[in-house]
């Protein structure tokens, strides 16, 4: 990458390519629109690529995030998954938009944006994430959705899994500690977002900004299951933050403990179990975005 935020000359453009198994070679090949772009299938430890292409959804991004971050290179997410919430948060709503951003980048445009990188600490383990971390009912819904056959997975399938989880899940004691607060309450779920959405468009953290140095925390306490069902439409648009059972706040660092221990899902993938500490690395991730989103 050039110092100005564009890309290296095409004569030396080495690109790491990662994809979900369901993405066809034809889709990937079209991004190698010049012979000067070299797609790397194997990368020597002594060299790093200039950029990375990730074809897939949030889970695919999460899987390859540690490797891309270790190289400190810009990446482009091509939305070819089920929910594609991270790509959509970046303004990349289709393969066509992603291709346009890639062409701009390869032409030397300054369309690399630095955003915050989420980090989960579980003992000595560190797990990076880009979108949202959830525990409680939403993590249970994620697990149910992930067990569905790949051909039925969709935002609607996630909604169906969420309703199943709502009927089965019981509130648990969740303890939250930040620099400004400490509280413990029976809760249905807790979501911590760097991005504002998950689950195929649910705006769980509607005020989240990718580069403000803050995590947005949504803690849902004891609430009637019937009320949740009636409120599902407003949850998709972020209206749940007005409910009296919902606490919504921002923090640079959050510690979560629970009784019993809860499984955490990060970017839609199983990550670890509570207790955990969640924080940010400010401007720790470089992403290629459409020029108009810079």
Tens of pLDDT, residue by residue over 213-231, are 999 999 999 988 888 888 8
Identify the segments of the chain with pLDDT beneath 70: 1-11, 45-46, 149-157
Please report the pLDDT score of residue 45 as a whole number.
65
Please, what are the domains in the chain? 10-117+285-293 (3.40.50.10330), 122-281 (2.60.200.40)
pTM value surpassing 0.85: yes
pLDDT at 5: 45
Can you give the pLDDT at residue 251?
98
Residue 253: Cβ within 10 Å count: 15
Sign of the CA dihedral with 152 first, then 230, 224, and 244 last: positive
pLDDT recorded at residue 3: 35
Q: What is the pLDDT of residue 242?
A: 93
In terms of DSSP bridges, do strands 276-288 and 125-129 run parallel, antiparallel, or are they unpaired? unpaired
pLDDT of residue 152: 61
pLDDT digits (tens, 9 = 90+) for 234-283: 888 899 999 999 999 999 999 999 999 999 999 999 999 999 999 999 99
pLDDT at 164 (0 to 100): 78
């Amino acid at each position: 990458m050039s110092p100005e935020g564009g890309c290296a000359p095409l004569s030396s453009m080495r690109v790491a390519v990662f994809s979900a198994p369901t993405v066809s070679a034809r889709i990937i090949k079209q991004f190698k629109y010049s012979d000067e772009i070299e797609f790397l299938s194997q990368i020597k430890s002594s060299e790093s690529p200039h950029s990375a292409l990730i074809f897939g959804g949030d889970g695919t991004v999460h899987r390859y995030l540690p490797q891309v971050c270790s190289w400190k290179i810009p990446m482009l997410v091509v939305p070819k998954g089920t929910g594609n919430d991270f790509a959509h948060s970046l303004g990349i709503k289709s393969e066509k938009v992603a291709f346009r951003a890639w062409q701009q980048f390869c032409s030397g445009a300054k369309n690399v944006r630095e955003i915050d990188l989420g980090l989960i600490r579980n003992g000595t383990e560190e797990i990076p994430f880009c979108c949202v971390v959830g525990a409680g009912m939403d993590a249970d819904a994620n697990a149910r959705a992930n067990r569905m056959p790949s051909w039925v997975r969709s935002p609607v399938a996630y909604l169906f899994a969420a309703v199943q989880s709502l009927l089965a899940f019981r509130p648990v004691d969740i303890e939250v500690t930040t620099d400004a607060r400490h509280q413990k309450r029976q809760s249905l779920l807790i979501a911590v977002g760097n991005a504002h959405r998950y689950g195929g468009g649910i705006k769980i953290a509607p005020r989240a900004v990718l580069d403000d140095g803050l995590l947005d925390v949504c803690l849902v306490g004891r609430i009637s299951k019937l009320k949740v069902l009636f409120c599902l439409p407003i949850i998709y648009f972020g209206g749940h933050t007005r409910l009296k059972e919902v606490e919504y706040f921002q923090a640079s660092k959050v510690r979560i403990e629970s009784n019993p221990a809860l499984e955490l899902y990060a970017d839609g993938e199983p990550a670890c179990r509570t207790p955990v500490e969640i924080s940010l690395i400010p401007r720790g991730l470089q992403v290629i975005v459409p020029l108009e989103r810079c």
